[in-house]
Amino acid sequence: MDRRKFLTRAGIVSVAGAATVACGDKGHTSGPQHSQDVAHFGHPIPPECQQGSDGQWQRTPGIRTAYSRCFSCYNICGLRVRIDEANDKVLKVGGNPYCENNSGSPLPIDTAVKQSYVALAGEAGLENRATTCAKGASCADSVDDERRVTQVLKRAGKRGEGKWVSISYEQALSEIVNGGDLFGEGHVEGLKTVRQLDKQVKPGYPEFGTAANHLFATFCAEDTLRGSFYARFMQQSWGTSNLGTKHAYCGAAQVTGFSLGMSPDFEEWLNDVDWENVEYGLFMGTSPGSSGNSLNRAGRGLADSRVDRKFKYVCVDPLLRTTVAADTNAKWLAVKPGQDAAFSFGVIRTMLEEGWFNKVHLEGASEKAAKAAGELNYTNAGHLVVMDPKHPNYKGFAKAADFGLGGDEALIVKSGSQTLVSAESGDKAELFVSKTFKDGKGRRVKLVSSLSLLREEAQRTSMKVYAEQSGIGIEDMRQVAKDLGHYGRKACIAGNGGTNSSDGFVMGWIWATLNTLVGSHDAKGGASYGNGPIGGMEGRYDLANIADGVSLDGVVNACRDGAYESSTEYQQKVAKGQNPYPASTPWHEALPAMNAAEQWTSHANADPYRAKVLFNWRNNFLYSAASISQEVVASIADPKRLPLIVGIDCHMNETNRYADYFIPDRSMLEEYAADRMWGSHMLGVVAAAPLVTPRTVKNERGQHVCMEQLLIDIALEMKLPGFGKGAIAHADGHQADLLCFEDWHAKYLANVAAQCEGLPKVTAEDREWAGLDYAMKPLTPRLTPAESSQVESLLSRGGYYVADERYDGEFIKGAGAKCLQIYHEAVTHLRHAYSGERYPGTITYQEHKFWNGDTWESHWPKSEYPLLFSSYKATVRSNYAVAYKRIAEISPTNFVYMNQDTASEQGLSDGDSVKLITANGKPAVGLLQTDSGVAKGAVCVSHGFGHSQGFGGDDRVINGKSVPGLKERAGGVAINQMIPSDPTRNAKASMLNDYWTGANCRHGVPVRVEKA
Ligand code: SF4
C-alpha cells in the first residue's frame, strides 16, 4: 500500500479498533496490570497477547479474549473483547477481523482464532485491521455504568416523578400478574384479568381482535435473537396484536418505497453500495457512513474507492458532512430540507429527455430478452399500461390475451416497430409508447408504456420549479443526470432515513427507480444487496410455532395497519349507501410496520381503544418518534388512562421513567446474540455470548433478573402456551424445556449454528483464545454434544461469515433475475383512506400534504415559519451510547446549525441560545452555530442529545436517596417532540405522517427560530 492510500484510509476511519496487540521481548508475565497511577496520559491496559523473544505468541495471563457483537447501534458489527478475568471487567473492545462490518478484508472463517490475533499485529495489522466506530469502541462502559439500573424498582411517587423503591423480583412479579391497590391510587388490574381472549377489544368491530390486545408491547426488533423471544411471547403466547417497534419512525417508509422498484409484489429491499467496484455515488439525504450506516465498512470502502478508482460522489443533503472531503471527487449539493424529490425529479426528467439512461437494460422486457442482451435483471419500462379511465383494467398492465397475443402476461411494442407483442416474446421493448391500439374485440384502448408514464410525471413540473423548490441549480441537476448516464452500472444511488418527509415512501422508490434507469441493481460496482441474516427460529428446535398459541391472522392492530376497505366502518358506510371516504382515522396498508408511536397515538385518543398495560423493552418511543404529541405523553403519565406500565431495560429512558415497575435487564455484553449485519455483503450472522457476570440482581432461585426470565415466569404463572417443561419440540422427537433465560438462547443458537454449513472445527487452542469455556458453560448442558460443538464453533469467531465469490461476470453472484418496476401495478390497487384515490403506479412529485390532502403551506405558512427543519444522526450518538462515559466526553452536546447568511437574515448570531418553534410541537432550545456548510433556509440539529429525562441525565430518588442527573448526559437538545403533528387528523393526539404510508416524518418541517 502506498503512503497516500494509507493516509487516506487513516483519515477516513474515525476510530480504528486501536491495535490491540503489544509486541515486545519482555511482556507482562503475571496477571493484568492496570496503570491506574497514570493520571494524565491515559490508562494503558494489558494487551490481549504478546510475542515472546522466541517469536511465539502467548495470551496475556489473566486476560480472556472473545469475539462478540456490538449493539451500540443497529448496524450490528462484530467486536473483539478483552476481559479482566479476576475482576470480571470488560477492559477494551475492538473490531472482529472475521466480520465484514469491521474489516474491508475479513479473515477466512477457518483462520485459527490465535492466528486472527496475530494477523492484527505489527506490519500485518493494517491490512487486517478491524475497526469499530467511536460508539462501539466505547461500549466497555456499558456494563458498569454508574447510572445503570440493576435493581427491581417500583414507583414510589407520581408517574414520571423519578421516585422509586427497590423491591424483590418476586414482589414485582406477583403484583404485575395479580394486580391490587398497588400504589395507593385504587385498584390496578393485573395481567391475569387483562388477558381476555373470549371478548372483543372493541365490541362490534371484529377486525380489532380480542381484549388481550389491551396489552401493548413495545420492543427493539433489531435485536433478532432476544427480540424474537419477546415477539413470540407477546403474539403467540399472550395474543396481542399491539407489538410496536421503531421502524415507522426510522426508515421503513423508504424501504417500503424502494421495494416497489424491485418486485411486482410487496417485499423488503434496500440497497447498499458495491464498494469494491463503484465509480460514482449519489447519496440522498446522507453521506457515506452516515444516517445509521456503519462508518467501519463504508469508511474502508470509501477510502479505497477514492484511492483506487477516483470515486466520484455527490451528497444531496442540507448539511455538509465530514465524509464529503475536500480535495477528493466529492461534491455537496445543499438541498433544502424535505425537497429531495424536487431535485430527484429534475435529474430524472433530464435523464429521460437527454437519453442519459441505460437503454439496453430498460429494453429487456423479459428474462429471455435480458439474457439475450447480456443483462441479469429485466424491467417493465416498456410494458404497456391501460390508460383509458373507462376500461375495466384502467391503470393495470394490458394483458396479451386481450389482444390475442398470449396469456396474462404484459404487452410491449417491439423495439423499432409499431407491433404489439407479448412481453414474454423475448423481443426488446420500445421504451416510449403512448398510443391507441385495437384489442382482440376491436375496442380502441389507450396504452402507455411505463417509462412514458414516468416521463410524463417528470415533465408535469418545470426544471425551474424543481430548482426553486430544491435549492439546487438546473446545471447541477443536469451534471448529476449526465454522470449517472455516463457511469451507468458503475453508479449507485443510495439513501437512508435522511429523507423522511411526507414523501419518504416516494423517496425510497426514487432511489430504486434511479438505479433501474442506470442498470445498476446487482451490478458489479452498482447497487448491491447483502445476503441477509441467518435466523434461529426453526431447525433443530421449533421455536417459531406454539402448538396451542394464539393466531392473530386477520387482526388489525390499534394503529390500523391494514386495508380500510375491510373495516367495519367502511362496510357500515357502504351498507348505508354513504361514500366510505374519508375514513374517520388513518389506515395504512402499504406499511404494516408495527408503528409504536401510532399505536400510542391511538391509545391517547382511545380510538379504537385504550391500552391497559404497557410492556416496554429496549424501546424509547417518547424520545425517538418524531412528532409524537404531548397528548400521548399525558396519556401515559396518567394511571387512570393507562393503569400499568412495566419498563424493562438496563437504563432508565424517557419512556421507562413513566413505568410503575422497572425490571433491570442484561446489557449488550452480558447477553447472547445472533444478529444480521447491515452494510455487509457476505452471508453471515454476528454471534455472541455473555462476557461477564450480569450486573442485575438475582431472584430467589439465584437467576439474574432480565426480560426473558420475567416473561417466562409470567407465562408459567399464567399457564400461557409455549413455556415450561417440554414446551419446545426438537427435530428428533423429544420435547425440550423453556424454563429460563439460557434455555431459549441455547436452542436459538443451535438452530443458527446448524445452518452454518462451513463452520470450522474448534481446536483446544481456539477454545482457549476465544474464551469458549466461559461462553459454553451455560449452554452445553442444554444441547446435544453435536449441537454444542456447532455452537462453540459459531461463538469462536463471533459469528459465521461466508466469503463466497462476489461476482459472476459483471453482476453480483447469486443475484436472481428480477423484474424491476418502473410502474408498480399492485400498489395502484390500494386506496388512500381519506381521499379514496388510488396510489400512483410510478414515483410521483407532490407538495407536502397532510392526511386530508391540505398542503403543509396552507396551515403553516412561510410568513410564520420561514425556515425548514432537518434532523440527522450524529456519527457518535445512538441509543445506548449516550450512557457511555467516553461518548459524553468526545461528543457532549449538539448544536442548532444554520447557514450564516440565513442566521443574519433572521437577526441571529453564532453562539446565540435559540428557540425552535413549530406550529404545535414542543419548542426546543439549543445553541446556534453558523457556517457555510448548511443549506440556506435550513435548520439542522442532530438526534440523540438532550437526555435530561433518561440515561442518567435525569434526577432520581431511589429508596429515599437522591441520585442527581449527570450533566454530561443531558447535553444538547432533543428534537423529536418539537416536530409538529398533522392538524387535519380529527383527534387530540396526532402525528405528522408520510402521505402514503403513515410513517412519521421529520424533514422539511416549517420552523421559526428565535433568540431564547
Ligand atoms: S457502527 Fe454501530 S454496531 Fe458498528 S461498531 Fe459502531 S456502534 Fe457498534
Q: Which region among 282-286, 477-481, 637-641 has the lowest average model confidence (pLDDT)?
A: 282-286
Nearest CA to ligand 1 atom 8: 136
Can you give the pLDDT at residue 752? 98
Q: 737 by DSSP, 3-state: which?
A: strand
The secondary element (H helix, E strand) that includes residue 331 is strand 330-333
Which atom of ligand 1 is nearest the CA belonging to 72? 7
Which atom of ligand 1 is nearest the CA belonging to 73? 2
Q: What is the pLDDT of residues 592-648, one digit of tens each?
A: 778 999 999 999 999 999 999 999 999 999 999 999 999 999 999 999 999 999 999
Asked whether residue 9 carries a pLDDT value surpassing 50, the answer given is: no
Q: How far is the CA of 74 from the centre of ligand 1 (A)?
A: 7
Q: Using a 6 Å cutoff on CB, does residue 645 contact ligand 1? A: no
Q: Using a 6 Å cutoff on CB, does residue 73 contact ligand 1? A: yes
Q: How far is the CA of 502 from the centre of ligand 1 (A)?
A: 29
Q: How far is the CA of 682 from the centre of ligand 1 (A)?
A: 17
Residue in 75, 138, 686 to alter for ligand 1 test, most ligand atoms within 8 A of Cβ: 75
Residue in 67, 878, 887, 890 to alter for ligand 1 test, most ligand atoms within 8 A of Cβ: 878
Higher per-residue confidence, 286 vs 338 = 338
Mean pLDDT of the chain: 93
Q: How far is the CA of 948 from the centre of ligand 1 (A)?
A: 24
Q: Using a 6 Å cutoff on CB, does residue 133 contact ligand 1? A: yes
| Alpha-carbon distance values, 705 to 516, 614, 722, 740 (Å) | 50, 19, 20, 10
Say whether the peptide bond before residue 608 is cis (omega within 30 degrees of 0).
Answer: yes
Asked whether residue 5 carries a pLDDT value surpassing 80, the answer given is: no
Can you give the pLDDT at residue 41? 59
Q: How far is the CA of 96 from the centre of ligand 1 (A)?
A: 12
Can you give the pLDDT at residue 816? 84
Whether 164 and 153 have beta carbons less than 8 Å apart is answered as yes
Which atom of ligand 1 is nearest the CA belonging to 71? 3
The secondary element (H helix, E strand) that includes residue 215 is strand 215-218
Q: Using a 6 Å cutoff on CB, does residue 72 contact ligand 1? A: yes
Which atom of ligand 1 is nearest the CA belonging to 75? 3
Average pLDDT of the segment spanning 691-710: 98
Q: How far is the CA of 133 from the centre of ligand 1 (A)?
A: 6
Task: Determine the Cα angle at 952 with ends 947 and 957, to 5°.
Answer: 120
The secondary element (H helix, E strand) that includes residue 172 is helix 169-178
Q: What is the pLDDT of residues 294-312, one digit of tens each?
A: 778 888 889 899 999 999 9
**What does the block give as the cell for 186?**
385504587
Residue in 133, 295, 875, 880 to alter for ligand 1 test, most ligand atoms within 8 A of Cβ: 133
Task: Tell which residue, 950, 893, 878, has the closest CA to residue 136.
Answer: 878
Task: Tell which residue, 671, 682, 668, 673, has the closest CA to residue 748.
Answer: 673
Q: Percentage of the chain surpassing pLDDT 70?
A: 95
**pLDDT level of residue 125 (50, 70, 90 thresholds):** low
C-alpha 836/C-alpha 844 separation (Å) is 17
Q: What is the pLDDT of residues 786-797, one digit of tens each?
A: 999 999 999 999
Q: Using a 6 Å cutoff on CB, does residue 294 contact ligand 1? A: yes
Q: How far is the CA of 65 from the centre of ligand 1 (A)?
A: 19
Question: Given its phi and psi angles, is residue 519 left (phi above 0), alpha (psi -120 to 50 degrees) or beta?
Answer: left
Q: Using a 6 Å cutoff on CB, does residue 77 contact ligand 1? A: yes
Nearest CA to ligand 1 atom 1: 294
Q: How far is the CA of 36 from the centre of ligand 1 (A)?
A: 28
C-alpha 697/C-alpha 184 separation (Å) is 26
Whether 493 and 282 have beta carbons less than 8 Å apart is answered as yes
**pLDDT level of residue 11 (50, 70, 90 thresholds):** very low
Q: How far is the CA of 77 from the centre of ligand 1 (A)?
A: 5
**What does the block give as the cell for 188?**
390496578
Q: What is the pLDDT of residues 14-51, one digit of tens each?
A: 233 333 333 333 333 344 444 444 455 566 789 999 99
Residue in 69, 103, 296 to alter for ligand 1 test, most ligand atoms within 8 A of Cβ: 296
Superfamily of domain 272-358+461-528: Dimethylsulfoxide Reductase, domain 2 (3.40.228.10)
Residue in 68, 76, 132 to alter for ligand 1 test, most ligand atoms within 8 A of Cβ: 132
Asked whether residue 7 carries a pLDDT value surpassing 70, the answer given is: no
Q: How far is the CA of 16 from the centre of ligand 1 (A)?
A: 12
Q: Give the phi and the psi of residue 798 in degrees, each rounded to 5.
A: 65, 30
The residue extents of the domains of the chain are 3-142, 272-358+461-528, 359-455+817-827, 847-1011
Can you give the pLDDT at residue 181? 98
Count CB atoms within 10 A of the CB of residue 59: 18
Task: Tell which residue, 12, 13, 17, 28, has the closest CA to residue 67.
Answer: 17
Q: How far is the CA of 409 from the centre of ligand 1 (A)?
A: 46
| Long-range contacts of 368-375, Cβ-Cβ distance < 8 Å, separation of 24 or more | 368/424, 368/425, 368/426, 369/425, 369/426, 369/427, 369/428, 369/429, 370/817, 371/817, 372/426, 373/428, 374/810, 375/519
Q: How far is the CA of 132 from the centre of ligand 1 (A)?
A: 6
Q: 492 by DSSP, 3-state: which?
A: strand
C-alpha 724/C-alpha 738 separation (Å) is 5
C-alpha 731/C-alpha 751 separation (Å) is 11
Pairing of strands 215-218, 683-688: unpaired
Whether 626 and 250 have beta carbons less than 8 Å apart is answered as no
Count CB atoms within 10 A of the CB of residue 55: 6
Q: Which region among 870-874, 956-960, 975-979 has the lowest average model confidence (pLDDT)?
A: 870-874
Whether 916 and 945 have beta carbons less than 8 Å apart is answered as no
Q: Using a 6 Å cutoff on CB, does residue 135 contact ligand 1? A: yes
Average pLDDT of the segment spanning 876-890: 88
Nearest CA to ligand 1 atom 4: 77
Q: Which amino acid is at 362?
A: L
Q: What is the pLDDT of residues 62-96, one digit of tens each?
A: 999 999 999 999 889 999 999 999 999 999 999 99
Task: Tell which residue, 325, 331, 332, 330, has the closest CA to residue 7.
Answer: 325
Q: How far is the CA of 541 from the centre of ligand 1 (A)?
A: 31
Asked whether residue 8 carries a pLDDT value surpassing 60, the answer given is: no
Can you give the pLDDT at residue 13? 31
Q: Using a 6 Å cutoff on CB, does residue 65 contact ligand 1? A: no
Q: Using a 6 Å cutoff on CB, does residue 76 contact ligand 1? A: yes
Can you give the pLDDT at residue 880? 81
Q: How far is the CA of 685 from the centre of ligand 1 (A)?
A: 15
Nearest CA to ligand 1 atom 2: 73
Whether 171 and 710 have beta carbons less than 8 Å apart is answered as no
Q: Using a 6 Å cutoff on CB, does residue 934 contact ligand 1? A: no
Q: How far is the CA of 223 from the centre of ligand 1 (A)?
A: 13
Q: How far is the CA of 881 from the centre of ligand 1 (A)?
A: 10
**What does the block give as the cell for 5?**
492510500
Q: Using a 6 Å cutoff on CB, does residue 136 contact ligand 1? A: yes
Burial class (CB in 10 A: 0-12, 13-18, 19+), 761: exposed
Task: Determine the Cα angle at 1007 with ends 1004 and 1012, to 5°.
Answer: 145
Domain 847-1011 indexed as CATH 2.40.40.20: yes
Can you give the pLDDT at residue 15? 32
Q: Is the fold of 272-358+461-528 the same as that of 847-1011?
A: no
Average pLDDT of the segment spanning 123-142: 86
Angle in degrees, 0-180, between the axes of helices 741-755 and 785-796, rounded to the nearest 10: 80
Q: Give the phi and the psi of residue 575 in degrees, each rounded to 5.
A: -60, -30
Q: Using a 6 Å cutoff on CB, does residue 70 contact ligand 1? A: yes
C-alpha 172/C-alpha 299 separation (Å) is 47
Rg over alpha carbons for the chain, rounded to the nearest Å, is 29
Asked whether residue 1 carries a pLDDT value surpassing 70, the answer given is: no
Average pLDDT of the segment spanning 916-928: 98
Q: How far is the CA of 131 from the centre of ligand 1 (A)?
A: 9
| Alpha-carbon distance values, 554 to 207, 241, 245, 562, 590 (Å) | 7, 10, 20, 9, 16
Residue with cell 439474574: 704
The secondary element (H helix, E strand) that includes residue 788 is helix 785-796
Q: Percentage of the chain surpassing pLDDT 90?
A: 84
Q: How far is the CA of 71 from the centre of ligand 1 (A)?
A: 7
Q: How far is the CA of 617 from the centre of ligand 1 (A)?
A: 21
C-alpha 376/C-alpha 368 separation (Å) is 10
Residue in 129, 135, 882 to alter for ligand 1 test, most ligand atoms within 8 A of Cβ: 135
Angle in degrees, 0-180, between the axes of helices 474-487 and 340-354, rounded to the nearest 10: 60
Q: 280 by DSSP, 3-state: which?
A: strand
Q: What is the pLDDT of residues 483-521, one digit of tens each?
A: 999 999 999 999 977 888 999 999 999 999 999 999 999
**pLDDT level of residue 131 (50, 70, 90 thresholds):** confident
Q: Using a 6 Å cutoff on CB, does residue 132 contact ligand 1? A: yes
